[in-house]
Amino acid sequence: MFLIVGLGNPELKYEKTFHNLGFIAAGDCAALLNTKFKKKECEASVAEAFVGGEKILIARPVTYMNASGRAVKQLMNKYKLTKEELVVIYDDYDLPKGHVRIRPAGSAGTHNGMRSIIAELGYGEFARIRVGIRDENREIPIIDYVLSDILKEDYDLFSVATKRAAEAAVALARGDKIDLVMGKYNG
């Protein structure tokens, strides 16, 4: 079994914001695996797929970004998952817009959703896929920036990035080694 978590905020007003790129990538994962978000459990909207007889869960926590860890911990406990069976996709202000970066572990950096997950789980040794959002031409405070709408001229760039992140997450869920996934999708 494998759990893919895309971070975001559940309200419609956040749908096209930078902070919802994890939700968008989770939707791209569901599309790749030909499934839909049909059930609510553990404070998350969840889609299920089977690949080679193995169950893959795709989750979008409905706890809001800063409490994402609650939903992740509940899902991990309910399904008795290990840290090797988890990947989290989220936006990252520390990366240039449109860049995708996969890592096997790490800190939360400036991301409150990741800070919540690490605090709830008690470790940071799980795969993460970050989608860069920093735009050198926009100088506004980070809290305002992450909750602002993605500019229309950047839609295509971020659409490609979330699909790339989704492909990487699905590759990990199918059992590809993280080094191979990093080599193929980082950039």
Compute φ and ψ for 149, nearest 5 degrees: -70, 145
CA–CA gap between residue 170 and residue 142 (Å, rounded) = 30
Using CA atoms, how far apart are residues 30 and 79, in angstroms rounded to an integer? 19
E strands, the chain, where? 2-6, 37-41, 44-51, 54-61, 86-96, 100-103, 127-134
Determine whether 19 is an active site residue. Answer: yes
Structure tokens at 38: 């049909």
H or E stretch covering 9: none
With the C-alpha atoms ordered 156, 153, 98, 187, is the resulting torsion angle positive or negative? Answer: positive
How is residue 153 written in tokens? 């001229």
- Give, for 186, the enclosing helix (H) or strand (E): none
Which candidate in 2, 6, 8, 19 is catalytic? Answer: 19
- Pairing mode of beta strands 54-61, 44-51: antiparallel
* Catalytic annotation, residues: 19
